[in-house]
Structures are given as C-alpha cells and as structure tokens.
C-alpha cells in the first residue's frame, strides 16, 4: 500500500513539474513577444523581427489564435518597414491560415500594410446554403381557344401572386472567382385567369395551383467587392418536376340572365347564380417535367463561417405546359363552365434569402 502511495507521489510530482515547465515556457514566449513589440515601437525593426522569427519557429510557444495573429502581424509590419516586400506574400497567407476571417486591428494604420493585404484572402471552396423565399409565376400565351361565343377568351388576363419557396444548395469554387452551384428546391406557384363576357353578364375565374421539386446546376462568376461582400451573376440549368396540380373554377352569371349550355349533348338551362368547383386534380392534363434556363444574381455578406445571402433568379421555360390531347377531355369544364385550356409556357421569378455555411477555404 505504501509503495502505491509513493508511486502516486512521483506521478503527481512529474505532472506538476511538466505543467510548470509548460507554463514557464509559455510565459517566456509571451515576454519575448512583448519585447519584440516594444522594439518595433522604438524603431528597432531588425532586432524586433529577429526575435519574432525565433518565436515563430519555437515549437514550445503554444500560442492561441489571437496571440499567433499578433505575432504574424508584427512580422509583416517589420518586413514592410525593412522594405523586404518579396517576403510579404508568405506571411500574409500564414495570417489567413491562422484565422480565415482575419481583420487588422484599428491601431494598424500603416497604409502599406492595408495595400498588400488586399491581395490576400481566404476564399470558401465548399459551402452549403439554405434559403426561403417566394416564387412568382409568369404565363406566356401561345394559342387561345374558345367554346362559347358570349365569352371573350382572347382578352382574358393572367394574374399571379408570390408563393412560398424553399431551397438547398452546395457550392464549389475550383478556382478563384469561379463557382459551381448544385441546387434543389420545393416550390409552390400558380396563376389566376379571369375573363368576361362580351355583354358583361358572364365571367369566369380560373385558378391553377402548382407544386414542384427542382434540381439545378449553375455557374457563378464572383466579384469580390470587399473581404466580406461578394456579388455573383449566374447562368445555368434548372429542371422542375411538377408534383401536384390543382384547379378551381368559378363561373358567374348575372341574376338577370339565363345561361343555356349543353351538358353531355343535351340542351339545358342552368339559370342564374355562381357555379364553382374547387381543387380539381389536373395533373394528367399538364406536362410532368420541364427544363429551364436559369439566370440570376447572388449577393452575400460573410461573417465568421457563415454568410448571409440574397439570391434572385429567373427561370425561362420553353415547353407548352398543357397537354393538347387532353384539352377537351373534361365535359363538365367545357360544356357547363365554358372553360377551355390555352396553350402557354410558364416562367418563374424566384427570390431566396438565407444562410450559407462555408466548409472549406483556399488561401490566396
């Protein structure tokens, strides 16, 4: 038992001596750094940089990120004063390896220090983003059809409101200023078509609600306005798979009018009032997949490992959204509600704001 206690004492003694040695060494390193800073302030740049370089090479000086930053800044400032400009690039890069988000302190007023700093930065190579925003639908009419002479189909109007949109993306910058973005998203969108009768007794309100899942690939060219602010125009491709399409229709007839229709080939008087159907599943009358050119611009503000971003993009489509062979399939829509699908293309304006997490950096 006494032997065990004796061994424990030796272990404690070794630990105390080891910790004491580290603390003493660290205090010694900090004292040397303070001495080098004092010599710099006195104008003795040669002696200051000699001490600073010895500290930087000493493995026993286990500095914190901030202490190491102070040491590297001191080396750079000495090199500038000694006009050893060819060595600056190496030490500026070490500054950004030490701290990807390095910003000089306000007391560093040397113009040359800031001038050379502009040539160096830590650029994100990999990043992931999550954004939320809205998508607005634009309808490009291709061809108009009519089924009832009392309604002005040609001059019907499309309206839309922004609907909710979510996006996730991953960015990769293989070389400075060039970025590839792989994106996906879930979107709600839709449009409303409104048209009147020639004698104003009739009107039809038709609403189309759409949900889609998107995948895209974009190329961004990055303009770095400052170490924190980047603006990136982009061009790319986006695929939209339409997961759900629902229609609602409301046909209004003046209370002083009657409305003769034909349902299933039989003449019929409906009478007066409003006639409505909600949430009809119309996925089988629309294309399920469409391809879009994606044009946009991304503005980001970086702080620490995160960036705030605002992304605006326009998706330009090419394909008729309506399946022509299904145009007359729904007798109720055609003969009772006087509605007939036009041919049209959908385009979208999408705006997302969110956070970007920078995973890996390249120092230049």
Three-class SS of residue 196? Answer: strand
pLDDT at residue 196 greater than cutoff 70: yes
Query: Mind listing the pLDDT tens digit for each residue in 152-193?
Result: 888 888 889 899 999 999 999 888 789 999 999 999 988 888
Number of structural domains in the chain: 2
Query: What pLDDT is attached to residue 151?
Result: 77
Query: Mind listing the pLDDT tens digit for each residue in 125-162?
Result: 889 999 999 999 999 999 988 887 777 888 888 889 89
Which of 120, 148, 175 is the endpoint of a domain?
120
Query: What pLDDT is attached to residue 47?
Result: 86
Do 151 and 290 belong to one domain?
yes
* Least confident range of 62-66, 136-140, 181-185, 348-352: 62-66
Do 194 and 149 belong to one domain?
yes
Confidence tier at 4 by pLDDT (50, 70, 90):
low
- b/e per residue 20-29 (b: at least 16 CB within 10 A): eeeeeeeeeb
pLDDT at residue 339 greater than cutoff 80: yes
CA distance 82 to 74: 12
Residue from 235, 229, 217 nearest 309 by CA: 229
Q: What phi and psi, each to the nearest 5 degrees, are found at residue 346?
A: -100, 135
Do 180 and 297 belong to one domain?
yes
Do 14 and 94 belong to one domain?
yes
Do 41 and 171 belong to one domain?
no
Do 201 and 286 belong to one domain?
yes
Do 140 and 254 belong to one domain?
yes
Which of 120, 140, 158 is the endpoint of a domain?
120
CA distance 250 to 256: 18
Supply the CATH number for residue 291's domain: 2.40.160.20
- 3-state DSSP: the chain helix, strand, coil percent, rounded to 5? 30, 50, 25
CB 133 within 8 Å of CB 165: yes
CA distance 195 to 144: 12
Confidence tier at 9 by pLDDT (50, 70, 90):
low
Do 250 and 219 belong to one domain?
yes
Query: Mind listing the pLDDT tens digit for each residue in 206-240?
Result: 889 999 999 999 999 999 887 788 999 999 999 99
Query: What pLDDT is attached to residue 81?
Result: 84
Query: What pLDDT is attached to residue 262?
Result: 44
User: Which residue range(s) make up the domain with 85?
Assistant: 2-120
- b/e per residue 184-210 (b: at least 16 CB within 10 A): ebebbbbbbbebbbeeebbbbebbbbb
Do 113 and 171 belong to one domain?
no
CA distance 163 to 299: 22
Which of 104, 120, 136 is the endpoint of a domain?
120
Provide the CA 353 distance to its chain's centre, in angstroms.
7
pTM of the model: 0.71
DSSP state of 322: B
Do 8 and 78 belong to one domain?
yes
Distances (CA, A) of 301 to 72, 304, 311, 361: 26, 10, 12, 16
- DSSP states of 255-284: TT---EEEETTEEEE--SEEEEEEEEE-GG
DSSP state of 87: G
H helix runs in the chain, sequence order:
2-41, 45-57, 65-81, 88-98, 111-117, 331
Provide the CA 161 distance to its chain's centre, in angstroms.
22
Do 263 and 182 belong to one domain?
yes
Query: Mind listing the pLDDT tens digit for each residue in 253-265?
Result: 654 444 444 444 4
Query: What pLDDT is attached to residue 26?
Result: 55
Do 114 and 127 belong to one domain?
no
């Amino acid at each position: 038992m006494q032997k065990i206690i004796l061994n424990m004492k030796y272990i404690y003694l070794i630990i105390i001596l080891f910790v004491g040695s580290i603390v003493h060494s660290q205090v010694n390193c900090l004292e040397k750094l303070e001495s080098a800073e004092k010599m710099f302030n006195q104008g003795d740049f040669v002696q200051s940089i000699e001490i600073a370089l010895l500290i930087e090479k000493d493995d026993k000086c286990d500095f914190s990120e901030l202490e190491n930053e102070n040491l590297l800044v001191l080396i750079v400032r000495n090199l500038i004063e000694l006009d050893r400009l060819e060595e600056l690039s190496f030490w500026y890069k070490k500054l950004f390896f030490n701290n990807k988000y390095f910003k000089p302190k306000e007391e560093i007023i040397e113009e040359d220090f800031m001038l050379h700093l502009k040539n160096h930065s830590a650029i994100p190579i990999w990043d992931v983003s999550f954004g939320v925003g809205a998508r607005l639908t634009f309808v490009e009419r291709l061809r108009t059809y009519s089924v009832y002479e009392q309604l002005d189909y040609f001059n019907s109007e499309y309206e839309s409101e922004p609907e909710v949109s979510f996006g996730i993306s991953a960015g990769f910058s293989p070389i400075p200023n060039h970025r590839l973005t792989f994106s996906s998203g879930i979107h709600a969108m839709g449009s409303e078509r409104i048209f009147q009768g020639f004698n104003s007794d009739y009107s039809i309100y038709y609403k189309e609600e759409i949900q889609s899942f998107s995948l895209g690939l974009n190329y961004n060219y990055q303009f770095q306005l400052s170490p924190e602010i980047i603006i990136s125009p982009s061009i790319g491709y986006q695929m939209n798979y339409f997961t759900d399409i629902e229609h609602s229709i409301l046909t209004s007839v003046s209370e002083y009018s009657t409305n003769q229709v034909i349902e299933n080939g039989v003449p019929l008087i409906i009478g007066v009032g409003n006639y409505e159907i909600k949430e009809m599943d119309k996925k089988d009358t629309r294309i399920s997949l469409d391809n879009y050119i994606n044009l946009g611009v991304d503005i980001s503000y970086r702080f620490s490992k995160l960036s705030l971003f605002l992304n605006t993009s326009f998706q330009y489509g090419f394909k008729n959204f309506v399946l022509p062979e299904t145009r007359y399939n729904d007798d109720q829509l055609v003969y009772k509600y006087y509605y007939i699908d036009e041919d049209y293309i959908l385009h979208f304006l999408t705006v997302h704001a969110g956070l970007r997490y920078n995973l890996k950096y390249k120092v230049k």
